[in-house]
């Protein structure tokens, strides 16, 4: 087989073109899964892994574009390794539509119960975000440090599973724990989980991933500000609401950057 | 097409030669934009992204070399992706000279109003520098920790948009906010923006980028020194003025390093 | 020699397939060493180096699968450079079975004495984990911050060699110091070493490496939580025991990720 | 030109063989400079840049192997870019033996005056080590956190140029400042420079570089231990002396690792 310069470029930089597939009606794979949504889940999973917000654990899901009572989530797999072929479809009881023997995330009930409780939510991200974990075991509440994390000005409550369920293995491994977590989330974009991590939600995969990323960034910035000592001039709720509207307007600027960064890994 | 070793080297390391184009009169692209200035903007944008001073947002500009009432700034794009083709020309009211439908940064008024207020400034850099954001919401003033950040010995004021404009979306999205920010900057090289980031300026793109980088480094070093506890022996204003003169003398040493680091990405 | 696309892929990404060799009876190399165990030691050493838990020093060992009174450990070499060919066999007095002039780790007695004292332990990892070292010289005990580090809820004692041995070179360089360290470890998964590092143990190389990694992560998270100020809501011992059982169930998810990340380096 | 697999490997991984050139009598380049010493300076410079101990500034030198009143230091260049061709020879007054128009480091007097004052020193490293700078402006003395940084148990004094020279540009730009710094160093391995960085020395390039690296590591670990609160159980001077002897015994283990890591960059 002859080697062309174009092939070498592709090989060495891994700059494989991502499937676009966004038409008026969603393109679907042979398994019937929306290709564009799958691609967003893959990119989001890998971006958060690239930035260390996810390590070997955690997951990104999306509500189905064709059936609002279903959602898409990968089989049990490290997020950095997720491909479109790994995306499965689930109902709101956390049952796989077509499991074909694939292993499932124990904590898929985080997703199912939030989709059930929040019709506005189109995507859910669960991470063990290293910046955020300290706030989940502290009495210091997270607050919005800057405009990219403006959504935190609405408050980020901490869910402590021990309150309702006693001493557990910390996992959201059944619908009742998922429901309890969804109740603590309420109508907000973020909920922290004591001794575990956090969950962010949004009206699109892009926004839920954006919030997972900036929740981690904000946590680190807030820790640094606290360490300086003295009062901190956080964003007010009013500023937060206005600034968050801008985040929706500029999301594609950072999403396109992330997509470029992650493209080589997608080719693996 | 035959593959040569030289081609492979270029492909695998991406060591493409940057256009030099610095003659007695500025080389200009077909669009009439100074090629050397564009190159500095591209390098500066990508260097600051490489070091995490910039993420998907923020921007580097330069005053036009042919018309001091105009400046160069990229279209709305993540700084890590900026190429010479993305550089546009603006007037001091923030109007694009030849927009051709390209989308513009909402915050171009940071640049236009500083160029208006400060004839000595030839470059402006706006970042969401993660080291600096904690100081923008704290009452602890930034001070110069070491000679490379000597320019901070002149003081780095904090601009709080809420003072003049109430609860906003935090952005410098019109001339009046740009003017207010420029007033707080005064004749200094750096101004912090509460809940947002900072702006550095300089007599060249290199110096403005150098200052953006070392403002971030200094912020992190100062945070660490404060965490040790006790008094801190900062650079005095007299030391700062003398040491900053040296930074001008050695700027090419680090700029050439940065240019080498960033060259592979420029080829993408 | 003709260049194929497959070869280029292998060359540029280094995605060489690892030898699997896990059958009903352990595959052995010409030297008689279990190939699968050697591979786990190599992967574990390189993963911990990749994450900065190990730098040029530290080591990963495994109890022999054929002789429980022997263990496998590399010759004296930086962990990032260890290959299967470097793995040697030792008895519980720390003597090499077939040294062939290779240089040995001074601290192999960490391993020999823990294997002697703890029949349940199948793997021992010694690191200079940068997150953990501060806890080894502090009076603040490490505690479990989240479920992945649930094994720390059983407590992580600090071994101070000065107590029994006076002012030494800090190394566990003979059986008596190894025995003293093993006594402080007791039946726990982790022991810290003052002014030196820590040791983690487990029922497999995977689990001992997992614990070394998450001990480092937990130390950094705990430091951050302490810096926030106020009480910390650590995992309780009951939660820790339950959550640690889950870690055993999900270990392959992160181990497979690590193996993928480390594969290119293995090819070097 | 035909492309072989070996060539591709060399191109893609940059695994070019370093010149060895270590015979009984030092191999010398056409300029008469000891090739092995030059190689150590190049490796040391690039390793410290790789780890962020050096950025665009700072330098590594070695006393000449043939003339103890001369030393080797690169021309003024970012350490990450230094090659053997950039190494120059200087006398103890800081004069270049054969300048050939090359630009010189302003601070070469750090090196000349320490070589003059300390016949035992064969290598000097000057960095703006980010871990260390906070200790240079603090009243908290650096102390040895662990055995790899055992040399710090002898104490690390802080040199404040303002004491003897008033408000300066902070640089060691003449013999008198170099002499003052050398006096503060005394017979120790490390001296901190207020508002600037630090200097480490050793009986070989390897040991001076090792000390520069672990001084930075130790500073970060000590900062973290202090942030935990309470007393810290540092290495005693007696432990430090014993443990430092081990560092000499194991230096090649980490040096060989560093050489491997840095080899690809050397080929650039």
Who among D3, D12, D227 is closest to A12 (CB)?
Answer: D12
Cα of C54 vs its chain's centroid, Å: 9
Q: What is the pLDDT of residue C6?
A: 36
pLDDT at residue C17 greater than cutoff 70: no
**What average pLDDT does the segment B244-252 reach?**
94
- A13: closest chain D residue by CA: D12
| pLDDT of B21 | 35
Instruction: Tell me, rounded to whole angstroms, the distance of Cα A138 from its chain centroid.
Output: 23
Query: What integer pLDDT is reported at residue D265 of this predicted model?
Result: 55
In whole angstroms, how far apart are CA D53 and each of D215, D216, D225?
A: 9, 7, 20
Model confidence at B263, pLDDT cuts 50, 70, 90, reads confident
Asked if B257 and D80 come within 8 Å (Cβ–Cβ), the reply is: yes
pLDDT value of residue C224: 98
Q: What is the DSSP string of C195-242?
A: TTEEEEEESSHHHHHHHHHHHHHHHHHHHHHHHH-S-B-PPPHHHHHH
- Write a three-state SS string for chain B: CCCCHHHHHHHHHCCCCCCCCCCCCCCECCCCCEHHHHHHHHHHHHHHHHCCCCCCCCEEEEECCCCCCEEEEECCCCHHHCCHHHEEEEECCCCECCCCCCCCCCCHHHHHHHHHHCCCCCEEEEECCCCCHHHHCECCCCCCCCHHHHHHHHCCCEECHHHHHCCCCCCCCCHHHHHHHHHHHCCCCEEEECCCEEEEEECCHHHHHHHHHHHHHHHHHHHHHHHHCCCECCCCHHHHHHHHHHHHHHHHHHHHHHHHHHHHHHCC
Q: What is the pLDDT of residue B38?
A: 97
ipTM: 0.89
Position C25 scores a pLDDT of 58
Give pLDDT, residue A23: 38
DSSP single-letter state for residue C16: P
B112 sits in the region (left: phi over 0; alpha: psi -120 to 50; else beta) called alpha
Share the mean pLDDT of chain A: 90
**Contacts A12 to D, Cβ<8 Å:** 12
- Asked about B50 being catalytic, the answer comes back as no
Instruction: Give the pLDDT score at C28.
Output: 72
Mutation test of the interface with chain A: which of C3, C10, C152, C257, choosing the one with the most A Cβ atoms within 10 A?
C257
Q: Which two tokens stand for residue C125?
A: 């990892």
Given a cut of 80, is residue C65 above it in pLDDT?
yes
Q: What is the pLDDT at residue A32?
A: 79
Q: What is the pLDDT of residue C46?
A: 97
Nearest to A128 among C146, C235, C242 (CB): C146
Cβ-contact B55, A216 below 8 angstroms: no
At residue B30, the pLDDT reads 62
User: Does D2 lie at the interface with A, CB-CB under 8 angstroms?
Assistant: no
User: Which residue among A131, A138, A196 sits closest to C147, beta carbon to beta carbon?
Assistant: A196
State the smallest CA–CA distance between residue A196 and chain C in angstroms.
5
Mean pLDDT of A81-107: 97
DSSP-assigned beta bridge partners for residue C123: C62, C202
Cβ(D141)–Cβ(D155) below 8 Å: yes
Residue C265 pLDDT: 55
Using pLDDT thresholds of 50, 70 and 90, give the confidence band for residue A28: confident
Across B158-174, average pLDDT: 97
Given a contact cutoff of 8 angstroms between Cβ atoms, the answer to whether B180 and B159 are in contact is yes
Q: Give the Cα separation of B196 and B130 in Å (integer).
A: 10
- Measured CA to CA, the distance from residue D88 to residue C195 in angstroms comes to 40
Residues of C in Cβ contact (< 8 Å) with D224: 131, 134, 223
The stretch A53-82 carries a mean pLDDT of 97
Q: Report which of residues A99 and D33 the model is more confident about.
A: A99
Rounded Cα–Cα distance for residues A268 and C231 (Å): 45
Give residue B59's pLDDT: 98
| Shortest Cα distance, chain A CAs vs residue D249, angstroms | 36
Of D179, D174, D180, D175, the C-alpha closest to D162 is D180
For D236, counting Cβ atoms within 10 Å of its Cβ (0-12 exposed, 13-18 middle, 19+ buried), the class is middle
Q: Which pTM does this prediction carry? A: 0.90
Is the pLDDT reported for residue B20 higher than 70? Answer: no
What does the pLDDT average to over B168-195?
98
d(CA C67, CA A79): 38
Q: Collect all residues with Cβ–Cβ distance below 8 Å to B21 and sequence separation of at least 6.
A: B27, B35, B36, B39
Q: What is the largest CA-CA distance in chain A?
A: 67
| Alpha-carbon distance A251 to nearest alpha carbon in chain B (angstroms) | 9
Long-range contacts, C9-12 (Cβ 8 Å, 24+): C9/A11, C10/C267, C11/D5, C11/D8, C11/D9, C11/D12, C12/A11, C12/A12, C12/B12, C12/D12
Q: What pairing do the DSSP bridges indicate for beta strands C197-202 and C123-127? A: antiparallel
For C167-184, what is the mean pLDDT? Answer: 98
Model pLDDT for residues C103-144, shown as the tens digit of each residue: 999 999 999 999 999 999 999 999 999 999 999 999 999 999
Q: Are A140 and C229 in contact (CB under 8 A)?
A: yes
C-alpha torsion sign, points C24, C66, C46, C144: positive
The answer to whether residue A207 scores a pLDDT higher than 70 is yes
Kindly state the tokens that stand for B220: 């992190």
**Confidence band (pLDDT; 50, 70, 90) for C4?**
very low
What is the maximal distance between C-alpha atoms in chain C?
67
* Strands of the sheet with A197-202, listed across from one edge: A87-91, A70-74, A59-63, A123-127, A197-202, A190-193, A158-159
Q: Choose, out of C47, C222, C233, C234, the residue to mutate when testing the contact with A (most A CBs < 10 Å).
A: C233
Q: pLDDT digits over A165-202, tens only?
A: 999 999 999 999 999 999 999 999 999 999 999 999 99
* Structure tokens that stand for A100 in this block: 């074909």
A67 touches chain C (CB under 8 A): no
pLDDT average, residue stretch C8-14: 33
Distances (CA, A) of B184 to B120, B180, B187, B196, C192: 16, 6, 9, 15, 51
- For residue D263, the model assigns a pLDDT of 76
Q: CB neighbours of C21 closer than 8 A, spacing ≥ 6?
A: C27, C35, C36, C39
**Residue C145 and residue C221 in contact, taking contact as beta carbons nearer than 8 Å:** yes
DSSP β-bridge partners for residue A88: A73
> What letter would DSSP give residue C23?
-
What pLDDT does residue D266 have?
57
C231 contact partners, CB below 8 Å, separation of at least 6 = A138, A139
pLDDT at B22: 38
Residues 6+ apart with CB under 8 A from D214: D148, D149, D151
Q: In angstroms, rounded to a whole number, what is the distance separating the alpha carbons of residues A179 and B28?
A: 62
Single out the catalytic residue among C50, C107, C167, C239.
Answer: C107
Contact C228 A1 (CB under 8 A): no
Q: Å from D228 to nearest chain B CA? A: 10
Whether residues A169 and C245 touch (CB distance < 8 A) is answered with yes
Give catalytic residue positions of A. Answer: 107
- For B125, the token pair is 């850099």
Give the pLDDT of chain D (268 residues) as one tens digit per residue: 333 333 333 333 333 333 333 334 567 766 778 999 999 999 999 999 999 999 999 999 999 999 999 999 999 999 999 999 999 999 999 999 999 999 999 999 999 999 999 999 999 999 999 999 999 999 999 999 999 999 999 999 999 999 999 999 999 999 999 999 999 999 999 999 999 999 999 999 999 999 999 999 999 999 999 999 999 999 999 999 999 999 999 999 999 999 998 876 554 4
Least confident of A3-12, A87-96, B258-267, D97-106: A3-12
Q: How far is C66 from chain D (nearest CA, A)?
A: 31
pLDDT of C8 strictly over 80 = no
CA-CA distance, A140 to A161, in Å (whole number)? 18
Q: Is A72 strand, coil or helix?
A: strand
pLDDT, position A170? 97
Of A9, A239, A253, nearest to B167 by CB-CB distance is A239
pLDDT band at A27 (very low <50, low <70, confident <90, very high): confident
Asked whether the beta carbons of residue C162 and residue D239 sit closer than 8 angstroms, the reply is: yes
| Overall average pLDDT of the C67-88 stretch | 97
Single out the residue of A20, A43, A16, A13 nearest to residue A262, CA to CA: A43
Residue C13 has a pLDDT of 33
Taking a contact as any Cβ pair under 8 Å apart, which residues of chain B between 128 and 147 contact chain D?
A: 144-147
Starting from the edge strand earliest in sequence, which strands make up the sheet with B123-127, in order? B87-91, B70-74, B59-63, B123-127, B197-202, B190-193, B158-159
């Amino acid at each position: 087989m002859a080697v062309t310069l174009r092939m070498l470029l592709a090989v060495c930089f891994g700059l494989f073109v991502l499937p676009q597939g966004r038409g008026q009606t969603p393109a679907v794979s042979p398994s019937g899964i929306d290709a564009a949504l799958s691609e967003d889940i893959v990119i989001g999973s890998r971006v958060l892994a690239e930035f260390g917000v996810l390590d070997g654990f955690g997951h990104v899901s999306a509500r189905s574009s064709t059936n609002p009572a279903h959602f898409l989530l990968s089989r049990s797999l490290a997020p950095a390794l997720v491909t479109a072929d790994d995306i499965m479809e689930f109902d709101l009881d956390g049952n796989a539509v077509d499991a074909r023997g694939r292993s499932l995330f124990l904590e898929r009930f985080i997703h199912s119960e939030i989709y059930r409780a929040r019709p506005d939510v189109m995507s859910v991200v669960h991470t063990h975000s290293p910046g955020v974990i300290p706030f989940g075991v502290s009495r210091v509440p997270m607050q919005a440090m800057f405009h990219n994390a403006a959504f935190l000005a609405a408050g980020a409550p901490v869910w402590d599973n021990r309150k309702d369920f006693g001493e557990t293995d910390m996992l959201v491994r059944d619908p009742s724990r998922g429901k309890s977590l969804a109740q603590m989330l309420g109508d907000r974009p973020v909920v922290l989980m004591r001794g575990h991590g956090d969950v962010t939600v949004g009206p699109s995969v892009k926004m839920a991933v954006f919030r997972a990323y900036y929740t981690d960034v904000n946590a680190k910035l807030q820790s640094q500000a606290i360490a300086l000592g003295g009062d901190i001039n956080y964003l007010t709720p009013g500023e937060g609401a206005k600034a968050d509207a801008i985040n929706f307007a500029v999301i594609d600027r950072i999403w396109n950057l992330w997509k470029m960064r992650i493209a080589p890994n997608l080719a693996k």
